[in-house]
Each structure stands twice: as structure tokens, then as C-alpha cells.
């Protein structure tokens, strides 16, 4: 994590006869650690792109289905209990989804894991966000498929085998389903289910990281599948070539180049540590000019970026 992003590559564009240049991040030496704030942001952006694409596809086949967001929680705990409790939480979730009542009502789902921390006590709060795709019959009284919030909580309590009623929340996801194709509002709703495993801000609350349980969190998450989904949704992901890890050259913001942008080449920057943090900065170490594929072709890039 310490070395994450110390090498960055940008594609440099000239726009008309303007003096300044446009730079778009093309690649970088990212560590891909789950708890790295930089990589978490990149990964979260990828999960959003990935889920949005899969849902678009799913809604084309099931236009009348409506998405609901179910949040399942357990009580706060000290960080050294997190690993065990994550295990219990996942197991309880599997049990819940296999209850006949649930299986009949919501065959399609997508699950993510989030861990927040209580700033005062330092206790952690793991919880699951689940996007449920419900057929129109789910909402019809006569079909007897609808599950109320207290029913969700009671079933989850049974699955989790605890003596208290865990906090559960269920709400509609505006813009996701119900007869209309996925729109910007729907994409925004889906982002709720693609948030980081931990809020990157958790790391920066204090100036020093001394009290931050990074190792404990790392150990608790090690080897855990934090994202899960029903088999049919997984099939859509596979068919659409949407892997769990973001592709090497994934660019979080879909870079839209302005009219007439001309690629000049790729710049490679290295992070150079100075005597003080004010002296530390990225230094341009290499420029690779873009060669036109053939003399007749104008190297005017519109939407695709070179490798
Ligand atoms: Zn990283």
C-alpha cells in the first residue's frame, strides 16, 4: 500500500491550438490491496460500472422486476471479533436466502459487505447490502410473496441465531426496474450497493495511524468473498465479461475527449520523495510519442484510447 500509485501513466492530448494539455490517467502501479484507500476507490468505481452493466442487461430480459435494497446488520463488536462474526454473518445470509419463503419471492440478488467503525469506541460494525430483484407478483397481495421489514428481521434473527432482533432495513431502489430501463437515478441507487468495504476516510480521521487496526482488519477480511450474487446474475456477469477485479487499464471516470483532441503521447511519472512532504512530488521521467498507425490516417482520437 505504501508504494501504491507511485508510477502513473497519462495520455497527453492537444486540443486545437490551445496552450495547455489534457492528461488522462491511462495506467498506474496500483497495489490492489483491499484496504488501500486509492485502490478501494478504483475498485468501488469498477463494481459500480460492472453492476450497472449487468443490471441493464438483466432488466432487458426482466423489464417489470423491481429492485429493493436490503441491509442486514449485527451489533457492534471489538475488531478482534470481526473475523468470526463475518463468518457467522455470511453463513446466516446463505441460510436466509435458502429459506423457502425467500427463495420463492426473490430468486435474484447481489450482495456486498461494508464495515464501518465507531469513532468513539473503536468498535466495528459489519453489515451486508443486498440488492433484491423482485418479480411484479411479489408486490401483489394475492400471491402472498411479499416480505415485510419485521418478517425480514425475524427470519434473519433465526438464521443468525442471536437473542436480539438485528437491525434490518428494506427499501425500494428508485430507477432500478419497474418497467423502465436503467437511468441515471437507477445508477445512483446502485452505487449504494457498491460502496467501499470500509470508508477510506476511516484511515484519515487521526493524523497518525497508530490506533487504526489495519492489521486486524486485513486479517479479518483475508480470503473472504466480500461480493456475492445469485447464479443467474453471475451468468450475466460472465456472459458480459465483467470480472470481479477491475481490468488493468480501467479508467474510473469514463473519459470523454473534447472535440478535436489529438493524442501526443504517453507521459510516465514517478513519485519522488523530497526532504519534506512539501518537496515530494511526481516527476515526469519519460515521454513516449504516439506514432500514427499509417501516414494516411489522422491520429485523432475520439472515444478509444490506445494501449
Ligand atoms: Zn493501492
100 CA from centroid of ligand 1 (Å): 42
Same structural domain for residues 226 and 153?
A: yes
216 CA from centroid of ligand 1 (Å): 18
31 CA from centroid of ligand 1 (Å): 4
Asked whether residue 208 carries a pLDDT value surpassing 70, the answer given is no
197 CA from centroid of ligand 1 (Å): 14
How much is the pLDDT for 201?
Answer: 62
Query: CB under 8 Å to 151, separation ≥6 — which residues?
Result: none
Asked whether residue 206 carries a pLDDT value surpassing 70, the answer given is no
How much is the pLDDT for 227?
Answer: 93
Domain endpoint, select from 239, 262, 297: 239
Query: pLDDT confidence of 120, banded at 50, 70, 90?
Result: confident
Domain that holds residue 120: 37-239
User: Alpha-carbon distance 243 to 240, whole Å?
Assistant: 9
User: Alpha-carbon distance 285 to 283, whole Å?
Assistant: 6
Same structural domain for residues 93 and 209?
A: yes
Give pLDDT tens digits for 37-91: 888 888 889 999 999 999 999 999 999 999 999 999 999 999 999 999 999 999 9
How remote is the C-alpha of 28 from its chain's centroid?
19
Same structural domain for residues 15 and 145?
A: no
233 with 110: CB under 8 angstroms? yes
Average pLDDT over residues 284-298: 76
- Among 27-36, 51-60, 77-86, 250-259, the minimum mean pLDDT is found in 250-259
Taking CA atoms, 133 is separated from 47, 126, 178, 299, in Å, by 18, 23, 10, 45
36 CA from centroid of ligand 1 (Å): 5
How much is the pLDDT for 205?
Answer: 54
Asked whether residue 293 carries a pLDDT value surpassing 50, the answer given is yes
217 CA from centroid of ligand 1 (Å): 16
How remote is the C-alpha of 50 from its chain's centroid?
8
Same structural domain for residues 82 and 197?
A: yes
Domain endpoint, select from 185, 220, 239: 239
Average pLDDT over residues 184-194: 90
How much is the pLDDT for 266?
Answer: 95
47 with 243: CB under 8 angstroms? no
Same structural domain for residues 182 and 106?
A: yes
27 CA from centroid of ligand 1 (Å): 13
Query: pLDDT confidence of 304, banded at 50, 70, 90?
Result: very low
Same structural domain for residues 235 and 102?
A: yes
How much is the pLDDT for 306?
Answer: 45
Same structural domain for residues 57 and 186?
A: yes
224 CA from centroid of ligand 1 (Å): 18
How many structural domains comprise the chain? 2
Average pLDDT over residues 219-235: 93
How much is the pLDDT for 101?
Answer: 95
User: Alpha-carbon distance 150 to 174, whole Å?
Assistant: 22
**Closest to 261 measured CA to CA, from 24, 8, 25:** 24
Same structural domain for residues 49 and 17?
A: no
How much is the pLDDT for 204?
Answer: 56
182 with 83: CB under 8 angstroms? no
Give pLDDT tens digits for 122-144: 899 999 999 999 999 999 988 99
Neighbours of ion ligand 1 (CB under 5 A): 4, 30-31, 36, 38-39
DSSP string, the chain: -TTTTSEEEEEEEEETT-SSEEEEEEEE-----TT-HHHHHHHHHHHHHHHHHHHHHHHHHSTT-EEEEEEEE---B-GGGHHHHHHHHHHHHHHHHHSHHHHHH--EEEEEEEEEE-TTT--EEEEEEEEEEE-GGGG-GGGT----HHHHHHHHHHHHT-SS---EEEEEEEEEETTB---HHHHHHHHGGG--SB-GGGGGSSSS-TT--HHHHHHHHTT----EE-HHHHHHHHHTT--SSPPTT--SS---PPTTEEEEEEEEEEEE--SSGGG-EEEEEEEEEPPPSSTTS--B-SSPPP-
Same structural domain for residues 221 and 277?
A: no
241 with 232: CB under 8 angstroms? no
pTM score of the predicted model? 0.83
Domain endpoint, select from 239, 259, 274: 239
Same structural domain for residues 54 and 132?
A: yes
Same structural domain for residues 94 and 57?
A: yes
281 CA from centroid of ligand 1 (Å): 18
Same structural domain for residues 104 and 172?
A: yes
Amino acid at each position: 500500500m505504501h508504494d501504491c500509485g507511485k508510477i502513473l501513466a497519462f495520455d497527453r492530448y492537444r486540443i486545437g491550438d490551445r496552450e495547455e494539455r489534457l492528461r488522462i490517467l491511462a495506467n498506474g502501479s496500483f497495489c490492489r490491496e483491499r484496504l488501500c484507500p486509492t485502490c478501494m476507490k478504483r475498485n468501488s468505481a469498477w463494481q459500480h460500472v460492472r453492476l450497472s452493466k449487468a443490471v441493464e442487461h438483466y432488466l432487458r430480459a426482466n423489464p417489470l422486476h423491481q429492485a429493493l435494497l436490503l441491509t442486514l446488520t449485527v451489533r457492534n463488536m471489538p475488531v478482534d471479533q470481526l473475523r468470526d462474526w463475518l463468518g457467522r454473518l455470511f453463513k446466516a445470509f446463505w441460510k436466509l436466502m435458502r429459506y423457502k419463503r425467500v427463495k420463492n419471492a426473490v430468486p435474484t440478488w447481489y450482495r456486498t459487505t461494508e464495515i464501518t467503525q465507531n469513532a468513539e469506541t473503536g468498535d466495528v460494525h459489519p453489515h451486508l447490502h443486498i440488492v433484491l430483484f423482485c418479480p411484479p407478483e411479489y408486490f401483489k397481495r394475492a400471491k402472498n410473496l411479499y416480505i415485510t421489514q419485521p418478517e425480514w428481521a425475524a427470519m434473519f434473527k433465526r438464521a443468525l441465531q442471536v437473542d436480539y432482533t438485528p437491525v434490518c432495513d428494506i427499501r425500494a431502489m428508485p430507477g432500478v426496474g419497474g418497467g423502465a430501463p436503467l437511468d441515471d437515478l437507477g445508477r445512483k441507487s446502485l452505487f449504494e450497493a457498491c460502496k467501499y468495504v470500509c470508508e477510506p476516510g476511516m484511515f484519515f480521521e487521526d493524523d497518525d495511524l497508530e490506533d487504526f487496526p489495519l492489521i486486524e482488519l486485513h486479517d479479518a477480511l483475508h480470503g473472504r468473498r466480500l461480493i456475492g450474487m445469485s447464479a443467474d446474475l453471475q451468468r450475466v456477469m460472465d456472459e458480459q465479461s465483467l470480472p470481479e477485479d477491475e481490468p488493468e487499464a480501467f479508467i474510473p471516470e469514463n473519459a470523454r475527449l473534447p472535440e478535436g483532441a489529438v493524442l501526443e503521447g504517453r507521459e510516465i511519472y514517478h513519485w519522488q520523495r523530497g526532504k519534506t512532504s512539501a518537496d515530494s512530488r511526481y516527476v515526469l521521467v519519460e515521454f513516449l510519442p504516439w506514432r500514427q498507425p499509417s501516414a494516411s490516417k489522422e491520429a485523432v482520437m475520439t472515444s478509444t484510447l490506445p494501449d
